[in-house]
Structure 1
Amino acid sequence: MIRLPGDQKRLGALAQAELTYADRGATRDRLPPGYRPASRDARLGAGRAVFDRAVDGLLSWEMHRGAGLAVTASQPYAAVGAAVVLRWGIRPLGFLAPCRVVYRVDEPDRRGFAYGTLPGHPVRGEEAFVVRIGPDGEVRFAITAFSRPASLAARLGGPAGRKVQEIVTDRYVRALQRIAAARA
């Protein structure tokens, strides 16, 4: 995990910041009105070893790094209350996406987390990432999100902003597929 000077102070402030949306935890159940919903479900492989690799790659922020994002996080693993700043693109251009983990899923056959947006994120909303293993051993990865523009740039970007979100989601899926397929 890369940390730059001042990151700890910034992450501490973000951990205390208010979420930029009111519907905390809504990715567990019913997505709120007034947001653009998004979902993706992809096969990762089969077997407990695939499940375990995928879960570790997800919770350790490896999936995000594998998707081409720079990750600065307050904790090495996604835990409730952990702050994370994701950067897509090259400094000083690019997008900063500050988030905080709002819940974890820790069941024997389902593991993951959701984070919510913090001030400075170009959109408002929440995104959940859950890896699950079925009774037949099939391992799947689900992403559920809702968002709407938070910044002027995101509002003006319109369809381009939605396309960026789709690209990042595709990268998340491909990164976790690579992680899950890797041999231990």
Structure 2
Amino acid sequence: MSAARPLNYTEVGATRHAALPQRYRHLHHRTAVGHGPAAFEAAGDAVTGWGMHRATGARVLAESAHAEPGTDVEVSLGVGPLRFRAPCQVIWAEHSADRRGFAYGTRRGHPEQGEESFVVELAADGTVWFTVTAFSRPARWYTRLAGPLVPVLQRLYAHGLGRALREIAAPA
């Protein structure tokens, strides 16, 4: 599947480091989603197991149950002919005692070019933080036409992911 639809950008892995590439729009959204190890585990599992995306109503088709480098994934939103499909590939993943997450990069056919990471961290004070970091630019005629609306929609989606994780990480 990857060979037929290669990545459509060259700055692969840039979301893992602080400096994002120029000539792209940048997104950085950070929000607290819970407190304590149980909340961290629940949020980390939801991020790396696609549950976070699905909780927002997105459809996720992935080659594996968990985000691992090289995994092809398609995230889609919408209904019927108005469903927007976003083919991606997991670029990096992290599974440490206090940090879990991954980044996926856009593949040919995606409405955008770039990369987006989703990371959950357990801070020393027990706060569980969720961070979305992305760089992107239009890759299709309709995202170019939408112009400044696209970053607004991306920020709204990042906020929605944070809300979904807050609900997932809440004590039962």
TM range (shorter): over 0.9
Aligned length: 171
With the length of structure 1 as denominator, give the TM-score of the two structures.
0.89
What CA distance in whole angstroms lies between the structure 1 residues aligned with 2:158 and 2:105? 16
What CA distance in whole angstroms lies between the structure 2 residues aligned with 1:103 and 1:41? 19
Q: Which residue of 1 aligns with 2:117?
A: 128
From 90, 93, 96, the counterpart of 1:101: 90
What CA distance in whole angstroms lies between the structure 2 residues aligned with 1:150 and 1:178? 33
Q: Which residue of 2 aligns with 1:9?
A: none
Q: Which residue of 2 aligns with 1:74?
A: 63
Contact 1:15–1:82 (Cα < 8 Å) also in 2: no
Matched, 1:21 2:12: no
Cα deviation, 1:92-118, whole Å, max 9, x if unaligned, reads 212111110000112211110000001
Q: Which residue of 2 aligns with 1:112?
A: 101
With the length of structure 2 as denominator, give the TM-score of the two structures.
0.95
Matched, 1:38 2:48: no
What CA distance in whole angstroms lies between the structure 1 residues aligned with 2:83 and 2:132? 23
Can you give the 5+ residue segments of structure 1 that lack an aligned partner in the other structure? 1-12
Q: Which residue of 1 aligns with 2:153?
A: 164
What CA distance in whole angstroms lies between the structure 1 residues aligned with 2:131 and 2:156? 16
Structure 1 residues 15, 50: CA separation in 2 closer, same or farther (over 3 Å shift)? Answer: farther
Structure 2 letter corresponding to 1:56: D
- Identity in percent: 44
C-alpha deviation, 1:20, in angstroms = 0.8
SS class of match (1:14): coil
Runs of 4+ in 1 over 4 A off after TM superposition: none
SS class of match (1:86): strand
From 62, 80, 104, the counterpart of 1:91: 80
Report the aligned-residue RMSD: 1.2
What CA distance in whole angstroms lies between the structure 2 residues aligned with 1:109 and 1:173? 18
Structure 2 letter corresponding to 1:121: H
Residues 15-24 or 166-175, more deviating: 15-24
What CA distance in whole angstroms lies between the structure 1 residues aligned with 2:62 and 2:3? 10
Matched, 1:154 2:143: yes
SS class of match (2:68): coil
Contact 1:101–1:116 (Cα < 8 Å) also in 2: yes
